[in-house]
Copies of this chain bind each other. A is one copy, B any other.
Amino acid sequence: MRQDLPVTGYAILGLLTFGDELTGYEIKQRADITLRFYWVSPAMSQIYSELRRLTDRGLVAAKATADGAREVTTYAITDAGQEALREWMAGTPAGFPVLKHTVLLRLLIAHVSDPEQTTQMLHDYLDELDRAATDLAEVREALRGADRPGEPFRFPSLVADWGLDYFAAESRHARRALDRLSDDLTG
């Protein structure tokens, strides 16, 4: 049964394990508040083509639902989909996270730039970290009420807390780099 999917395929399957039937559009919205922080925000077009593949393989079931007058397609994970997801979790190692850290990449070669620019970049990064942390904190709050052991959002809340810690850690690292840079200049 070794028919592998792109990881984003499994991610979509995963989003569908939380109970509800979702449209492609809704899956995108869910991805934007969850996957976006530690995976990717897939483009709409990719979600639809991935859903197509999952449907073809019988891992999700498409259902034409009436949304008022018009027809809308909702997707639900099938038993085969659950099984494929479990197999993936059990049978393939998670692997080491990949970081595409453009800020660090630029800091590595900051000697071709000037100190002000580098400082500015790090300040910008701190601002963006704040915004991201605020967004994630909001998501985290929305999980309260079902985030205790055994409740549906237990794992999402663990992940959200991890993410918040990660943002906080990045802020510390960026500030530390800024301190060191300013020490360099003042002697």
Which residues of A pack against B, CB within 8 Å?
Answer: 7, 11, 14, 17, 34-35, 37-40, 82, 85-86, 89-90, 93-113, 117, 121, 124-125, 128, 132, 149-150, 152, 154-156, 158-159, 161-163, 165-166, 169-170, 172-173, 176-177, 180-181, 183-184
Contact A121 B94, beta carbon cutoff 8 Å: yes
Task: Give the chain B neighbours of A34 by CB distance below 8 A.
Answer: 108
Q: A90-B113, A103-B94, A113-B90 are in contact. Are A166 and B155 (CB under 8 A)?
A: no
Q: How many copies does the complex hold?
A: 2
Q: A17-B112, A39-B101, A99-B37 are in contact. Are A177 and B154 (CB under 8 A)?
A: no
Task: Give the chain B neighbours of A102 by CB distance below 8 A.
Answer: 7, 94-97
Contact A97 B89, beta carbon cutoff 8 Å: no
Bound: A151/B17 CA distance, A: 53
In the complex, residue of chain B having the shortest beta-carbon distance to the beta carbon of A14: B109
Bound: A40/B40 CA distance, A: 16
Contact B177 A158, beta carbon cutoff 8 Å: yes
Q: A40-B98, A162-B173, A184-B150 are in contact. Are A155 and B108 (CB under 8 A)?
A: yes
Task: Give the chain B neighbours of A125 by CB distance below 8 A.
Answer: 94, 96
Contact A162 B104, beta carbon cutoff 8 Å: yes
Task: Give the chain B neighbours of A86 by CB distance below 8 A.
Answer: 112-113
Bound: A124/B102 CA distance, A: 27
